[in-house]
Structure 1
């Protein structure tokens, strides 16, 4: 199944994965812009982006050496419900810094969209699926 077929599958877990992947560069860019003026947000944004790389791109867990503790932490997010909670928390943390700069809205918005899509997938009882393009199993 190709990328277009995955998007046509109406599996909200796939939509959420791509929203999460989209939020990774947004977090890196916002962290870079904030590094000079607001170091706390920059560090938090980069840590969130690093965690999201391993959560959303299964191929990275296969090729990168990680510790058993980190692998156990990432496995917490295998369920759509836990991913919903995680993304909502990440979005709230990001939106908490919006009063400092408008640049933080885009990462927070993409994290919130991913959380909403994972929430819809959990409510519809859709099993978690990750795109074949990122090393996942597909739909």
Structure 2
């Protein structure tokens, strides 16, 4: 199944995965911009981006050497309900910093959209699917 067919499938886990992937560069950029002015936000944003890389790109878990503890931590996010909670919590953390500067709104918004998409997928009882472009099995 190709990229276009995955988006036409109406599987909200695919939409959420791509929104989550979009969050990663937003977090890296916002963390970089805030590095000198707000160091704590930068560290939190980069840690979240690093975690999201492993959560949203299944290929990374296959090719990168990781510890069993890290693998167990990432496996927590296999369930759509737990991904919803995780992304919404990540979003709240980022929005807490948004009161300091407007640059933090974009990563927080993309994380919230991702959480909402995973929530819709969970409510519709859709199985988690990863895009074939990221090393997943597709829909």
Q: TM-score, normalised by structure 2?
A: 1.00
Partner residue, 1:37: 37
Partner residue, 1:106: 106
- CA shift digits 1:108-134 (9 cap, x unpaired): 000000000000000000000000000
Distance 1:111 1:137 in 2: 23
Partner residue, 2:119: 119
Distance 1:106 1:39 in 2: 18
Distance 1:48 1:96 in 2: 15
Partner residue, 2:70: 70
SS in 2 for 1:20: helix
- CA shift digits 1:32-56 (9 cap, x unpaired): 0000100000000000000000000
Distance 1:130 1:90 in 2: 21
State the shift of 1:2 in Å. 0.2
RMSD of aligned Cα (Å): 0.3
Unaligned runs of 5+ in 2: none
Runs of 4+ off more than 2 Å: none
Partner residue, 2:56: 56
Distance 1:10 1:130 in 2: 13
Give the length in aligned residue pairs.
Answer: 139
Unaligned runs of 5+ in 1: none
Q: TM-score, normalised by structure 1?
A: 1.00
Partner residue, 1:22: 22
SS in 2 for 1:96: helix
